[in-house]
Amino acid sequence: MSETQISQDQEMQDKLKSLELEQRDEASPTGRLIYWAGVLFALAHIYFNTLGTLSELWVSAIHFSGFALICALMVPAFKATTAGGRRLALTFDIAIGLVAIACTVYLILFEDALYDRGVNFVTSDWVVSFIAIAIALELTRRTTGWFIPSLVVVALTYVFWWGPYIDGIFGFAGLSLETVMFRSYFSSEGMFGSIARISWTYVFMFILFGAFLVKSGAGDFIIELSRVAAGRFVGGPGFVAVLGSGLMGSVSGSSVANTVSTGVITIPMMRKAGFPARFSAGVEAAASTGGQLMPPVMGAGAFIMASYTQIPYVEIIAVSTLPALLYFMSVGFYVRVEAMRSHAHAIELDTRSFGEVFKEGWHFLLPLAVLVALLIYGFTPTYAAGISIIAVIVSSWLSKNPMKPRDILDALAQGSRNMATTAILLVAVGLVVNVVAMTGIGNTFSLMIAEWSNGNLFIMLALVALASLILGMGLPVTAAYIVLATLSAPALYNLIAESHLIDLVMAGNLPEEAKVIFMLIDPEKYALLSAPMSQADATALIAQVPGDFKGQLLEQALNPTVLSAALLSAHMIIFWLSQDSNVTPPVCLTAFAAAAIAKTPPMATGFMAWKLAKGLYIVPLLLAYTNFIGGETPDVLRIFVFALFGLYAFVGFMEGYLEGPLNIALRVLSGVAALLMLWPHHNILIDSAGLVLFIGLFIYSRKTRAASLQTA
């Protein structure tokens, strides 16, 4: 290897390290301590999630303190350049970890004493609760920056200090500081509330499952399988990036980790095939962003969604599959178009056949099959993840490199390391969620959004998208989803459910029990409900129903399946939109990581990734305006197929190119075809007209390109 190549590789590694947290060396004595602490803590979590009988509050507190110790040891409080400074930082970090453990021990030992006093704080209660919250904020600052700690401080002080000084809808009478501290630390509502329970159950077990898969060699198999499956096609390396990132994302659930692990392979391959550097990096960033959308592991957000909606996790991943495929196909269409335009050539990536590679690594798919089978059969996600971890170990014995005891220990330790920052983040965000519940500000925010949108679903979607982009500049994806779902999901759910209600009123099919509500409001309107009416009249009629009666009307008019689908659609839309911070400048770490590998300008790469990831905005529109979630199977498949071609036509409109260049008129026609197939008109004839128009444009552009190549 030349000195120039070595220098370039070192430069890329330096750029990637600049995006990562400053962490202590794993080979140091501290690193070995983190290793064994991670192993023991992973085993403890497996016990908690299978055989353990401790109270959820205690387990949540243990979860926090253990990961506080690991996180404090992993990420130093400050960067020291001298040996004395490093010793000082280590001493400080060890003290923080031990104090966090002491706070948990205090909660367990003196919880009953606090209740015996009628929840009246003594000095030690004040000290412990303040210190525990301070540790959570400090560790969150180290791992995610100042945004979340600042948000927590603003939220907590709003409750007991400055809330009473605000006029208008956000005014709050206030609670005592003692009440705030009790609910934040000693109760199962704040730091150790539902978000923390999700963290030590679903999230940890699936992150541990992913660590075992990667350690067993499944990640390498996924890349190799993608290379032989797509590598030989024109523009194949681009398809390898899309396919590999999708499959890896279903294992890891982390966009940045997905980019780094697959991008170091796929981006150089795309460059070698003839793709532009910035486009190659954008494809990897956009495809890796979809990793958190691809079942069965969809990041922490999917588990939180299951908790919020009370919809089984297996149902969530089932309805998420087709939308995720649409997203990855939309990125793949950009790859196809750019391959034709850039004259990217096929390259020989692997001399083996697909069958040979699959035969060597088919056993890596067994744990995923076990996981899905157990979920479908009815086992809890945590139990299914635990059994699937065992399946990873057993299936590895069918490979050339079976997992040995040391490999198992490495996977346990890596799972804990991967979980440390997420655990601290979720515990801290739980404080904000608790404030929202205590003050009712979530309902206020939902009413405000509903008022701003004036009952218009599209405007509300735009507001949620804007809010997700702003929050995403300071919050990780999971935290952004939690905050947005807490504040805006009720309003979005109401509007989606009302759209179904409007359809019933327009058709004159409103159930009799629902008509009774209109009888109470305006008897003159009762007679109108038995006959069809226009959409404008139906919307105006429902708008007359007071907010206090709206929920009852929805329950009387719509069956539980439709309401459940509307709720899931609302959360899925927010979940999708919260991903856009990965690829949207000015803060887009996934794109920045890809840019470091491709050696392209970070901001320009971010804009390229943002363009390629347009499916993040189009698919939520389908979720909002169609029966893509909760519809009958034929209806869902029809939406999927026409949306697939609609996205291809949209790419042609954006790029001015299909199989060949499109002039202005043909480009507009491609946009018309996309609009016909993507617009929620529920008319198959219009969809078919759009499809025919697109096929005509596709064939025409193919012929013109062939003719131009012959004359060239």
Q: Which DSSP letter does residue 661 get?
A: B
What pLDDT shows up at residue 109? 95
Query: Distance between CA 545 and CA 673 in Å, rounded?
Result: 39
Query: Distance between CA 83 and CA 388 in Å, rounded?
Result: 44
Interacting residues of 143 by C-beta distance below 8 A, sequence separation 6+: 21, 71, 75, 421, 424, 425
Query: Distance between CA 663 and CA 650 in Å, rounded?
Result: 15
pLDDT at 121 over 90: yes
Interacting residues of 90 by C-beta distance below 8 A, sequence separation 6+: 30, 73, 76
Identity at 361, one-letter amino acid code: G
Contact between 583 and 610 (Cβ < 8 Å): yes
In the predicted model, what is the mean pLDDT of residues 287-297? 83
Q: Which DSSP letter does residue 294 get?
A: S
H or E stretch covering 700: helix 684-711
Interacting residues of 20 by C-beta distance below 8 A, sequence separation 6+: none
What pLDDT shows up at residue 346? 61
What pLDDT shows up at residue 314? 85
Task: Check whether the bond before 546 is cis (ω within 30° of 0).
Answer: no
Query: Distance between CA 204 and CA 198 in Å, rounded?
Result: 8
Query: Distance between CA 660 and CA 709 in Å, rounded?
Result: 10
What pLDDT shows up at residue 14? 57
Token pair of 397, please?
């014995």
Lowest mean pLDDT among 648-652, 667-671, 702-706: 702-706
Tell me which residue has tokens 């959820």. Answer: 56
In the three-class reduction of DSSP (H, G, I as helix; E, B as strand; rest coil), residue 196 is classed as helix
Query: Distance between CA 280 and CA 292 in Å, rounded?
Result: 20
Residues paired with 165 in a beta bridge: none
Identity at 126, one-letter amino acid code: W
* Mean per-residue pLDDT over the chain, rounded: 86
Lowest mean pLDDT among 470-479, 623-632, 649-658: 470-479
Q: Chain-centre distance of CA 159, in angstroms?
A: 30
Tell me which residue has tokens 């062939």. Answer: 706
Closest by alpha carbon to 56, among 158, 188, 250, 166? 188
What pLDDT shows up at residue 410? 94
In the predicted model, what is the mean pLDDT of residues 413-437? 91
Share of the chain above pLDDT 90, in %: 40
Contact between 370 and 388 (Cβ < 8 Å): yes
Q: Chain-centre distance of CA 160, in angstroms?
A: 33
What pLDDT shows up at residue 484? 87
Tell me which residue has tokens 């901001």. Answer: 603
Contact between 182 and 121 (Cβ < 8 Å): yes
- Tell me: the pLDDT tens digits for 296-321? 777 777 888 888 898 988 889 889 99
Token pair of 70, please?
């690991």
What pLDDT shows up at residue 398? 86
Residues paired with 661 in a beta bridge: 657
Token pair of 268, please?
């150089």
In the predicted model, what is the mean pLDDT of residues 407-431? 92
Contact between 529 and 508 (Cβ < 8 Å): yes
What pLDDT shows up at residue 382? 87
What confidence category does residue 11 fall into, taking pLDDT thresholds of 50, 70 and 90? low
Token pair of 376, please?
């479908």
- Tell me: the pLDDT tens digits for 616-651? 999 999 999 999 998 899 999 999 999 999 999 999
pLDDT at 251 over 80: no
What pLDDT shows up at residue 686? 94
Closest by alpha carbon to 319, among 630, 639, 680? 630
What pLDDT shows up at residue 691? 96
What confidence category does residue 40 fall into, taking pLDDT thresholds of 50, 70 and 90? very high
Interacting residues of 411 by C-beta distance below 8 A, sequence separation 6+: 208, 211, 212, 214, 215, 216, 403
Interacting residues of 530 by C-beta distance below 8 A, sequence separation 6+: 508
What pLDDT shows up at residue 17? 55
In the predicted model, what is the mean pLDDT of residues 358-378? 85
CB count in 10 Å sphere of residue 34? 24
What confidence category does residue 13 fall into, taking pLDDT thresholds of 50, 70 and 90? low
What pLDDT shows up at residue 255? 77
What pLDDT shows up at residue 468? 83
Lowest mean pLDDT among 299-303, 366-370, 389-393, 466-470: 299-303
pLDDT at 116 over 60: yes
What pLDDT shows up at residue 234? 64
Residues paired with 657 in a beta bridge: 661
Tell me which residue has tokens 């994302």. Answer: 249
Token pair of 467, please?
């809010």
Contact between 248 and 291 (Cβ < 8 Å): yes
Lowest mean pLDDT among 83-92, 222-231, 549-558: 222-231
What pLDDT shows up at residue 191? 94
Identity at 168, one-letter amino acid code: G
What pLDDT shows up at residue 630? 87
Cα angle for residues 673, 674, 677 (degrees, 5° grid): 85
Cα torsion for 41, 46, 50, 51, to the nearest 10°?
-40
Token pair of 87, please?
């010793």
CB count in 10 Å sphere of residue 695? 13
What pLDDT shows up at residue 668? 95
Query: Distance between CA 432 and CA 442 in Å, rounded?
Result: 11
In the predicted model, what is the mean pLDDT of residues 316-339? 92
pLDDT at 253 over 70: no
Query: Distance between CA 195 and CA 217 in Å, rounded?
Result: 32
User: Where do the DSSP E strands lie in 150-266?
Assistant: none
Query: Distance between CA 569 and CA 577 in Å, rounded?
Result: 12
Interacting residues of 643 by C-beta distance below 8 A, sequence separation 6+: 326, 618, 619, 622, 628, 677, 678
pLDDT at 56 over 90: yes
Query: Distance between CA 482 and CA 156 in Å, rounded?
Result: 17
Q: Which DSSP letter does residue 201 get?
A: I
pLDDT at 283 over 80: yes
Whole-model pTM: value is 0.84
Query: Distance between CA 106 and CA 108 in Å, rounded?
Result: 5
Interacting residues of 655 by C-beta distance below 8 A, sequence separation 6+: 334, 337, 338, 341
Give the CA distances from residue 440 to residues 159, 309, 549, in Å, rounded to whole numbers and listed in that order: 11, 18, 19
What confidence category does residue 339 fall into, taking pLDDT thresholds of 50, 70 and 90? confident
657 φ, ψ (degrees, to nearest 5): -160, 135
pLDDT at 51 over 80: yes
In the predicted model, what is the mean pLDDT of residues 391-417? 91
- Tell me: the pLDDT tens digits for 512-547? 888 877 777 777 777 777 788 888 888 888 888 877
Contact between 489 and 481 (Cβ < 8 Å): no
In the three-class reduction of DSSP (H, G, I as helix; E, B as strand; rest coil), residue 193 is classed as coil
DSSP string for residues in 543-609:
HTS-HHHHHHHHHHHS-HHHHHHHHHHHHHHHHHHGGGGGTSTTS-HHHHHHHHHHT--HHHHHHHH
Q: Which DSSP letter does residue 404 get?
A: P
pLDDT at 682 over 90: no
353 φ, ψ (degrees, to nearest 5): -85, 165
82 φ, ψ (degrees, to nearest 5): -115, 160
